Amino acid sequence: MGHQKAVGEPRYIKLNPRDNVAIVVNDFGLPAGARFPCGLELTAFVPQGHKTALVDIAEGAPILRYGEIIGYALTPIGAGEWVDEARIRMPDAPDLDSLEIATAIPAPQPPLEGYTFEGFRNADGSVGTKNILAISTSVQCVKGALEFAIKRIRSELLPKYPNVDDVAALTHAYGCGVAITAPDAIVPIRTLQNLALNPNFGGEVMVVSLGCEKLAPERLVPAGVDDAIVRMQDETLEGFGEIVARIMTMADARLAQLNRRKRETCPASDLVIGLQCGGSDAFSGVTANPAVGFAADLLVRAGATVMFSEVTEVRDAINLLTRRAANEHVGRALIREMEWYDKYLACGGADRSANTTPGNKKGGLANIVEKSLGSIAKSGSSPIAGVLAPGEKARQKGLLFAATPASDFICGTLQLASGITLQVFTTGRGTPYGLAAAPVIKVATRTELARRWKDLIDFDAGAVATGEKTIQETGWDLFRFILDVASGRTQPWSDRWGIHNDLTLFNPAPVT
């Protein structure tokens, strides 16, 4: 930034009439002397996405963005100066004991009817967007052996079953060397149990286990399912050849079942969509996240399940969310998840300010307060109907808060366990992120990124910043694109290239 010539007439975005800062829109930023249509002149270079003061701000005075306080001026700041992170003192997080609950429940919006997608309906009523054989593992020890078997399954078995998209190994670092009875061990264990039940896997569970691990493989098999475990230490199996053959025989039977699944027209209410962001910048909360929020409202109006997550990115805006809770119970559950995470971070000697990355700051996000206000825009304006603890399975429609860390891979893994069949991922800095188990639609906050990464980014929300498109138009386009991708008509780039991140468990319990 700063080395390339600024593009076009100087433009900034002020989000709320109360704001005393605005962000520079122009690609590559604007030099000192640039004059905005309102008459404000920059007195210093301001990079794209970074803030300039709209008025003189006194030392100690609040700095307002989104109409909320994102911090306090550490020194006097003149109008037209660059308000960079070093000039802002971060406010304290909202006190969890004095939050308003369900005091501003949004009125329900009119239902949206007639929207459908082509999905794979399962026996339990859930609907997948993919048809994948997922093979669970009870311990990391078996990973290499399973991957060897999967190579052979792909080349020797999969061609016989044209309706099956792929075979995936649900591998992880858990299972042994862990405090399996510690109270928080429920998080990774329930995540593995629920992952295997993701609607994209069609209910065909099988587990590859070692035999001596702490996580008994039976715990990963739903009640009533027989003959679903291959134990490598099984004394009737002679050598690696027989072990691989046993895995392949079990996989073959399941592939035959999965091959009977075919796409059929399903109402949009059968969708379970996860939302998250990664590599955020100051445009995240201006373009991509509000457009995703509008699409989330459309999905909720169509009767779908939509979940947003990332505790450390909602913690500083929790006062805005508890007001939107559908009832007292939901509000209390939100606070419970925040309290749990505050304690978890404190145990490690950190707090929520550990969330922001160097890339966030380079992108113009001064601190976690500013990042959170932009992040929660993804949740749209529906009432919050429910809360899920990490890895819990969603059992209701509407907008849910699924408590997860903000880490992209951990959030993705936990949302898959909660049952998402597609994820929408907003990014300002750019990431090649993808999931093998569900399609991921990557939404760019800026057109410059969408152009540069035209073969990695699926959807450009940048036209909102330049005023060429409204948030509503962009949200509708995204809603239709989600139906398209869920139907398998369009493949997101991560699936076209086959680039997928590892499943990554959240294990807050001790390792031994």
Q: Applying CB under 5 A, which residues contact Ca ion? A: 276, 278, 406, 408
Within 8 A by CB and 6+ apart from 454, the residues are none
CB of residue 410 to Ca ion, shortest distance in Å: 8
* Cα 382 from Cα 397, distance rounded (Å): 12
Within 8 A by CB and 6+ apart from 26, the residues are 6, 7, 8, 10, 11, 48
Query: Which residue's CB is nearer to Ca ion, number 376 or number 406?
Result: 406
Query: Which residue's CB is nearer to Ca ion, number 487 or number 504?
Result: 504
| CA 436 to each of CA 133, 169, 252, 424, 496: distance values in angstroms, whole numbers, following the listed order | 11, 10, 20, 14, 11
Contact 164, 158 (CB under 8 A): yes
Task: List, in sequence order, the alpha helices (H) in 278-431.
Answer: 288-301, 318-323, 328-347, 358-362, 368-375, 408-417
Residue that has been written with the tokens 């971070």 in this structure: 345
Contact 331, 101 (CB under 8 A): yes
Query: Which residue's CB is nearer to Ca ion, number 228 or number 410?
Result: 410
Query: Which residue's CB is nearer to Ca ion, number 171 or number 309?
Result: 309
CB of residue 423 to Ca ion, shortest distance in Å: 11
Query: Which residue's CB is nearer to Ca ion, number 100 or number 502?
Result: 502
CB of residue 276 to Ca ion, shortest distance in Å: 5
CB of residue 399 to Ca ion, shortest distance in Å: 18
Within 13 A of 252's CA, how many CA atoms are on the CB side? 11
Contact 90, 353 (CB under 8 A): yes
CB of residue 350 to Ca ion, shortest distance in Å: 17
| CA 226 to each of CA 205, 207, 259, 355, 476: distance values in angstroms, whole numbers, following the listed order | 10, 11, 20, 44, 45
Contact 509, 178 (CB under 8 A): yes
Within 8 A by CB and 6+ apart from 148, the residues are 244
* Cα 75 from Cα 72, distance rounded (Å): 9
Element (DSSP H or E) covering residue 442: strand 440-444
Query: Which residue's CB is nearer to Ca ion, number 175 or number 434?
Result: 434
Query: Which residue's CB is nearer to Ca ion, number 213 or number 408?
Result: 408
Residue 70 dihedral angles phi and psi, to the nearest 5°: -100, -5
| Pair of tokens at residue 230 | 């291959």
* Cα 363 from Cα 23, distance rounded (Å): 11
Residue that has been written with the tokens 């098999």 in this structure: 221
Query: Which residue's CB is nearer to Ca ion, number 115 or number 341?
Result: 341
CB of residue 465 to Ca ion, shortest distance in Å: 21
CB of residue 54 to Ca ion, shortest distance in Å: 30
Supply the DSSP string of 94-141, one letter for each residue.
PPGGG---SSSPPPPPPP--S-EEEEEE-TTS-EESS-EEEEEESSGG
Beta bridge partners of 119: 264
Residue type, 80: G
Element (DSSP H or E) covering residue 464: helix 463-466
CB of residue 431 to Ca ion, shortest distance in Å: 9
CB of residue 477 to Ca ion, shortest distance in Å: 23
CB of residue 405 to Ca ion, shortest distance in Å: 8
Query: Which residue's CB is nearer to Ca ion, number 278 or number 331?
Result: 278
CB of residue 66 to Ca ion, shortest distance in Å: 20
CB of residue 283 to Ca ion, shortest distance in Å: 16
